[in-house]
Amino acid sequence: MHKHHSALGLAATPSGILSGADIAKLRPVQPVTLLRPHAARRAARFFAEKFPGRSLYAVKANPSADLLKVLWNAGVTHYDVASIGEVRLVHDTLPEAVLCFMHPVKAAEAIAEAYFEHGVKTFSLDTLEELEKIVEATSKDGVPATDLNLLVRLQVNNEHAKLSLGAKFGAQAEDVKALLFATRQAADALGICFHVGSQAMSPAAYAEAMGRVRDAIVQAAVTVDIVDVGGGFPSWYPGMEPPPLENYFAIIHESFEKLPISYSAELWCEPGRALCAEYSSIVVRVEKRRGSELYINDGAYGALFDAAHIGWRYPVRLLRDEESDVRPIEFSFYGPTCDDLDHMAGPFELPADVQAGDYIEIGMLGAYGCAMRTGFNGFGTERTEIVQDEPMASLYAAVEHRRSNVVKL
């Protein structure tokens, strides 16, 4: 994946790239994205082997075709798609993959194309209007489809999540009974799904949501074939150190076993961040220092959207020929554009002697960071390298992460 289009990139095509430290030695002028396929494979295998049900990769977290192939080869066969663009992407990349259209509000044209042209049978909804739309869009010559998996999305508490996703979607409690009953009539397989929010920091989030599922099933007195606990599985970031994922899986399994459902009912989940956060990082150059503010060559309109707009903190480390023995202090970042909003407050801890010309690796950007880049103001990232070292943090690797945030080259 060596893309060297201009003299502003790496001086020469490197070989045997092992880490961000190796990249820094080449003194790149533009940011360099580092990919770790081995980390994504490990995460996928973890879910495939340990989650007590089926795992659907949430494509929105990182829609890279290369990543999709890595996950497929590691055992992920089902994909949560949220738009017709994602449907087309995954179908073209992985023709044998099973696609589940889990956005609760879809265009009728998108539903029809997904069903008739791409073989999508699974759809989510949270209103009677959406149910009617799905039934009509998948009918042929006035005859409704008989092979639909329809999942009703419940609105659940998001208080355990660092980023709430509970306001926009989800059927209200007073509407659930009628919606489940109507959906049961139209579905070959009826499901219930929910989303506890992004980066859920406690397994209790799933236990509470499963309680809502139990209440809904009892009140509606319907046979449920699928229970989908959605996404929200966390990754590690500074100040956000979650419990082991096995704890989440155990509580989900225990709650699922207590539901009034048939023995053949399926348990699903939709990990996004948890499968791809460790997949990539980025090496940036410090262009200027102003006190505790560092001007770097990537930012809010690049891979650091979340750092700017919702205050997300990422692990950072200084890549320098000579190791610094200066104590760390807290910095904020400015990105390369002319926009004041291109600011990442952090704080990001780095040695106090960091200066212009230094290189920094910013980790855990595989989820959303890579997906939300723009070319605003003419800035962007062209360099992409596969590296073989471990991600800066991991919930999967049994390795001891060094406490120092300085890497000696």
Whether 399 shows a pLDDT value over 80: the answer reads no
Whether residue 325 has pLDDT greater than 90: no
Q: What is the pLDDT of residue 160?
A: 66
Predicted confidence (pLDDT) at residue 125 exceeds the cutoff of 60: yes
Q: Are strands 78-81 and 54-58 parallel, antiparallel or unpaired?
A: parallel
pLDDT in tens, 3-57: 332 223 343 334 456 888 888 888 999 999 999 999 999 999 999 999 999 999 9
**pLDDT above 70: percentage of residues in the chain:** 90
Segment 347-377, tens digit of pLDDT: 999 999 999 999 999 999 999 887 888 888 8
In this predicted model, what pLDDT tens digit does every residue of 294-312 receive, in sequence order?
999 999 988 999 988 888 8
Provide the mean pLDDT of the chain: 89
**The residue to which tokens 């509000």 are assigned:** 105
Label residue 121 by pLDDT band (50, 70, 90): very high
pTM of this structure? 0.89
CATH 2.40.37.10 residue window(s) in the chain: 20-36+279-408
Closest CA to 30 of 377, 361, 382, 287: 382
Tell the residue number behind the tokens 């060559």, with chain if given: 297
Architecture of domain 20-36+279-408: Beta Barrel (2.40)
Q: Please report the sign of the dihedral spanned by the C-alpha atoms of residue 325, residue 326, residue 327, residue 333.
A: negative
Q: pLDDT digits over 60-69, tens only?
A: 999 999 999 9
Beta bridge partners of 316: 362
CATH superfamily of 38-276: Alanine racemase (3.20.20.10)
Instruction: For CATH 3.20.20.10, list the domain ranges present in the chain.
Output: 38-276
Measured in whole angstroms, the distance separating CA 226 from the mean position of its chain's CA atoms is 22
pLDDT digits (tens, 9 = 90+) for 161-186: 566 566 677 788 889 999 999 999 99
Predicted pLDDT at 379:
81
Q: pLDDT value at position 5?
A: 29
